Structure 1
Amino acid sequence: MFRSSALAFTLFAGITIAAQAAEIAISDPYARAVPPGQHNSAVFLSLTNSSAQNHALVGAESPVAGVTELHTHVNEDGMMRMRRIDRIELPVGETVTLKPGGLHLMLIGLKQSLEPGASVDLTLIYDDGSRMSVQAPVRQTGVPPMQHPGLTKKPNI
């Protein structure tokens, strides 16, 4: 009896978490193509929160990189610099766009080349513990690859 109750609770909890993640719609995901030897890239996408409560993106993972971080750009003494952040707020009924020069997912320590036509598997992690799998096609963009101070070499992971 206890086993069946525990199994039912686990299944219900899994369905609830999946439903919460489903209330965040992902559109236009893509990863930036980088030339061979480049160890870092970025992923961009839009997230629309159609739920009745605020959410936040608190992490991401990808098998193509040693580390995947949430990043933003800040103006420091007239210079735009990338900085790691802990969360990206997703207010109710709004769309938050991760784009070049703004919020983005940083892929650090690439384990493979990112060439146009390939795709990047990602797992997005939300503040409620839910996770969402996303495939981002690799695109060539007209914007030069993002340089991040201190991340010019492949990290030891």
Structure 2
Amino acid sequence: MRSLLIAAALFLPLSAYAEVKVVEPWIPEAPPNAQALGAFMVLENDEDREVKVVSAWAPGFDTIELHKSVEENGMHKMIKQDALVIPPMGSLELRPGSYHVMLIGVHKPPKAGDVIPLRLDFEGLPSQTIQVPVKKRAEMMKRMAPMQGH
């Protein structure tokens, strides 16, 4: 009986250990007077249910928020999100002009080549810390252009 309980315990929590795959994360190099930066990446979900990013944290910033950029009446603005939703068996692209992680209150502007540890907190899944490279914005925008049609 005991071995049956142990076996059941091993199989039941498997979905709790599922992990969101983070593809090509990056943060743009900051100008010296930057007060906020965006973190961009693609989040892939292999679960058969939606996964929510509910918060994030990184050293060197006062506040970190989840945002979506929108254009209304010719004005560009950012709207704070309670969560970023990754669809079941799908992905969510965080990119300039769309969803992103907003890093507010920059203590020391990062330069290309730096790496910033960014913790993503998920609803119902363990947090995940990723190493996000700082890259030149122009270089990354060129690489992302073919992905814009997705």
RMSD: 2.1
Match of 2:52 among 32, 37, 56: 56
Q: Kindly tell me: are residues 16 and 67 of structure 1, through their superposed partners in 2, closer, same or farther at Cα, counting changes over 3 Å?
A: farther
Deviates more, 1:122-131 or 1:95-104: 122-131
SS at match of 2:137: coil
1:41 aligned to 2:37? Answer: yes
Equivalent residue number for residue 29 of structure 1: 25
> Where is the helix percentage greater, Structure 1 or Structure 2?
2
Letter in 2 for 1:29: P
Consecutive unaligned residues of structure 2, counting only runs of 5 or more, are: 1-9, 140-150
Letter in 2 for 1:51: E
Tell me the SS of whatever aligns to 2:17.
helix
Equivalenced residues, count: 129
Given that 2:16 and 2:124 are in contact with CA atoms closer than 8 Å, whether structure 1 keeps it comes out as no
Residue correspondence of structure 1 range 76-155 to structure 2 within 5 A:
76-128=72-124, 130-142=126-138
Amino acid at match of 2:17: A
Q: How much does 1:17 deviate?
A: 8.1
Tell me, in whole angstroms, the C-alpha distance in 2 between the residues paired with 1:100 and 1:18.
31
Q: Which runs of 5+ in 1 are unaligned?
A: 1-11, 144-157
1:42·1:106 contact (CA, 8 Å) conserved in 2? yes
Question: Following TM superposition, where does structure 1 have runs of at least 4 consecutive aligned residues deviating by more than 4 angstroms?
Answer: 15-18
Contact 1:119–1:136 (Cα < 8 Å) also in 2:
yes
Query: Which residue in the other structure is 2:64 paired with?
Result: 68
> TM-score normalised to the size of structure 1?
0.75
Distance 1:18 1:39 in 2: 37
Q: Does the CA-based 8 Å contact 1:17-1:130 persist in structure 2? A: no
